[in-house]
Amino acid sequence: MSIFSDATLGDKARIIKKINNFWDEENKKLILKIESEWRTIETDYFKQIAELTGVDWLYQTYRAYFLAFGTSRGFSNPFNTRSDEFILTTGAIINPKFLTGHELFHCHYYYIVNKVGLTERLSRTLFIEGIASLMLFETKISKLFSETDFARSRDSYPEVKEKWPILLEHWNKRVNFEAFLNTAAQDTRL
């Protein structure tokens, strides 16, 4: 049985080899494909995020580390507000541009909220995932992720789905990103 679901494993020889060798050629190909897909939007992505947030990226280079096994497709550490790294699994192949961009935005977001002194308030899932959804779905940057089902992604977090109208209300009235963060942080409905 798969450790990720109750489905029977089809290619048992590959799984045994995978456990023995940790990474196999198929994983290496997937990682290269994920990187290749990301490279097609990388320059535009970094430029647009800096422009939309009004904050330059902290680092010139960010690193993705790939896990051979894991239940999520990506992770960026909210407790490291100056991180230049994030984690993906080979499952990111389902939408490499979006999943990479999503995790990178988290790295940038944690840095910004710490810089403006809002880490404690804005480190809840509602804000971490909700603001990522606003930035990636409700701006011109969404064109970089045309293959993404925005509603499904956004609604995968129940607290974001529930409070989306309030977040969107503040987003649509924003003067700039920092002002939006301050307004959202003060709203007692969130």
Q: Is residue 48 part of a domain?
A: yes
82 falls within a domain: yes
Domain membership of residue 78 as a residue range? 12-186
- The whole model's pTM is what? 0.86
Please report whether residue 6 resides in a domain. Answer: no
Q: Is residue 7 part of a domain?
A: no
Pairwise pLDDT comparison (182 vs 8), residue with the higher score:
182
**Residue 72: band (very low, low, confident or very high) from pLDDT cuts 50, 70, 90:** low
User: In percent, how much of the chain has pLDDT > 70?
Assistant: 91
User: Do the domain assignments include residue 135?
Assistant: yes
Q: Is residue 121 part of a domain?
A: yes
Which amino acid is residue 107, in one-letter code?
Answer: C
Residue 17 within a domain: yes
| DSSP-H helix ranges across the chain | 12-21, 25-39, 42-53, 96-115, 125-137, 150-155, 158-172, 177-186
Number of domains into which the chain is organized: 1
Instruction: Summarize pLDDT for 181-190 with one digit per residue, the tens.
Output: 999 999 999 9
Res. 2 pLDDT band, cuts 50 70 90: very low
Cα 109 to Cα 86: distance, rounded to the nearest angstrom: 13
**Statement: residue 97 has pLDDT above 90:** yes
DSSP state of 9: P
- Which residues, 6 or more positions from 9, have their beta carbon under 8 angstroms from its beta carbon? 1, 2, 15
